[in-house]
A and B are shown apart, each in its own frame.
Chain A
Amino acid sequence: MNIPRYILPLLIAAALFGGYALRAAFTHPSSSVQFSANGSKKVTCIVDGIRCKGTSDFFIRLYSKTPGIAHIETYATEHKAIIKYDPNLITPNQIRSVMEAQIPLRDGTSRQVFFCQSMK
């Protein structure tokens, strides 16, 4: 059967889009911690600074003593964090302030490690 040449780029586009759609099958959180069961609301943040397992764990540690945070999941490859929280105790703006706070370093200085690019 003869095949017209435009079939080739169409097949490639289908493969790439198919591959893109298939990625969800292999996506799992880099880190996930449950602090409490009172998370009735959720925000999804794209965070510059979440890059690997180490930075994912570090990100979660920032919230370990923050009241109102119920559950955090981070996805290093997507630079994403999903945070469940109790709206009576904390607001999305306060969540943002915690992640964008200056973090003290070992050499005595401090630096902002995470930048929230978007929050939904």
Chain B
Amino acid sequence: MKKTILRNRLFRYGILTVVLVLVVRLSLGFGQRSFENFCPFGGMESLWGLITTKEFSCSLGPLNLSILIAVLILAIIAKKAFCGWACPIGFLSELAGRLGGLIWKKRPRPDPKVNRAAKLLRYVVLVAALYFTYKAGELILRGYDPYFLIFSRFGHGSLGTVSWIVLGALLVGAFAVPMFFCRYLCPLSATFDPFARLGVIKVVRNEHKCTDCGLCEKACPHDIAPQKMIKVVHHDCTNCLECVDVCPVKGALELKATL
């Protein structure tokens, strides 16, 4: 059982590592494009400028928009699989969370009400990011963006000490709460939300086989409780399949294509 969990996790981590290496490679100047051109949220940020002036904001380009469209279609098909299987920041967050899990003997789980309310913050971040980007015509929030700060190595647009504090706070947050940035602050995650609810490929619970052991909820990095649902339609689900892997009853949780 443990071997299967580890093998499946390594499979997903292997894919995430490939993506991470490709982004690092781009950030080091190998390849014709900047690592920023591959961020789907850049597509959101460039929309207003594109509509009003037919120009992309500085550092953004057609690839941001086309990748945004592609991953939104992907979200309708496979929920937030992009976050769980391809996003380098999600990967680093998850690794930090796992490290945090080693430090905490028993990690305190955020109160469900506080957790739910704090998740609304990502919509605030989404609105703020779009408002300020559209108003300024350039990516003025780069200094707070972990993707930019990490891969540009605090390049042009970072805010020096403020950026270090932001990144440090995100790291501490990730140690304390798994997927801290993705849960509470990621504007791309907020963009995916309405599309992810429609996701066709999702984890489905067989209530006749399920023993309500709760292992799936403990394994979920987003604190979703699959044992309380028939279909995991929760908009935070990234289809990482940790719940399926820890389930002790074969066939109780399965990945299915269903409406």
Closest to B57 in A: A52
Q: Cβ of B37 and Cβ of A2 under 8 Å apart?
A: no
A contact residues around B37 at 8 Å (CB): 77
Q: How near does chain B come to A56, taking the closest CB pair, in angstroms?
A: 10
- A12 and B81 contact, Cβ closer than 8 Å, known pairs A1-B257, A1-B258, A25-B66: yes
Q: How near does chain A come to B164, taking the closest CB pair, in angstroms?
A: 26
A:19-71 near B, CB below 8 Å: 19-28, 30, 46, 51-53
Say if the beta carbon of A5 comes within 8 Å of chain B. yes
Q: How large is the interface on B (under 10, 10 to 19, 20 to 34, 35 or more residues)?
A: 35 or more
Q: Cβ of A5 and Cβ of B11 under 8 Å apart?
A: yes
Q: Cβ of B63 and Cβ of A19 under 8 Å apart?
A: yes
Say if the beta carbon of B69 comes within 8 Å of chain A. yes
> Chain B at the A interface: mostly helix, strand, loop or mixed?
helix
Q: Cβ of A22 and Cβ of B256 under 8 Å apart?
A: no
Say if the beta carbon of A15 comes within 8 Å of chain B. yes
> Chain A at the B interface: mostly helix, strand, loop or mixed?
helix
Say if the beta carbon of B82 comes within 8 Å of chain A. yes
Q: Cβ of B241 and Cβ of A5 under 8 Å apart?
A: yes
B contact residues around A46 at 8 Å (CB): 32
Q: How near does chain B come to A115, taking the closest CB pair, in angstroms?
A: 13
Say if the beta carbon of A16 comes within 8 Å of chain B. yes
Interface string of B164-194 (1 = CB under 8 A from A): 0000000000000000000000000000000
Q: Cβ of B62 and Cβ of A26 under 8 Å apart?
A: yes
Please name the 8 residue pairs, one residue from A and one from B, whose CB atoms are nearest each other, closest first: A77-B61, A19-B70, A26-B62, A19-B67, A22-B66, A15-B74, A23-B66, A15-B70
Which residues from chain A sit less than 8 Å from chain B, CB to CB? 1-9, 11-12, 15-16, 18-28, 30, 46, 51-53, 76-79
